[in-house]
Amino acid sequence: MQAIGATGALAVAGCLDGNEAGNEAETNQSADGEGLPEAKAVDVDRIARDPTDIPPPVDWNEPREHDVTVETVRQTAEIEPGVTFEYMTFEGQVPGPMIRVRRGDRVNLTFDVPEDLNMAAHNMDFHAVYGPGGGAEATTIAPGDDPARISFTADYAGVFIYHCAIPNMDQHISSGMFGSILVEPEDGLPEVDHEYYLGQHEIYTDGDVGEAGHHSFDFDAMLEESPTYVVFNGQAYGFTENGVGPMTAETGDTARVYFANGGPNLLSSLHPIGNVWSRYYRDGDLLSEPDQNIETAPVAPGTTTAGEMEFPVPGPVKIVDHALTRATRRGALGVIDVDGEPTRDVYDEDP
Annotated binding site: 122, 127, 163-164, 172, 177, 322
How far apart are alpha carbons 147 and 223 in whole angstroms?
Answer: 32
Q: For residue 99, what is the enclosing H or E element?
A: strand 99-102
Q: Are 195 and 54 in contact (CB under 8 A)?
A: yes
How far apart are alpha carbons 105 and 91 in whole angstroms?
Answer: 23
What is the sign, positive or negative, of the torsion defined by CA atoms of 200, 136, 72, 37? positive
Indicate the SS3 state at residue 282: helix
Strand partners, 84: 78, 214
CA dist 303 to 30, 132, 171, 188, Å? 32, 19, 17, 21
Radius of gyration of the chain (CA): 20
DSSP string, 174-206: HTT-EEEEEEE-TT-----SEEEEEEEEEE-BS
Q: Where are the alpha helices (DSSP H) in 126-190?
A: 136-139, 169-174
Q: Which residues are annotated as a binding site for Cu cation?
A: 122, 127, 163-164, 172, 177, 322
- In the chain, the amino acid numbered 179 is G
How far apart are alpha carbons 255 and 260 in whole angstroms?
Answer: 16
Do strands 125-126 and 106-112 pair parallel, antiparallel, or not at all (unpaired)?
unpaired
Q: Are 124 and 179 in contact (CB under 8 A)?
A: no
Beta-carbon count within 10 A of 298 CB: 14
- In the chain, the amino acid numbered 127 is H
Strand partners, 201: 231, 263
Do strands 148-153 and 178-184 pair parallel, antiparallel, or not at all (unpaired)?
unpaired
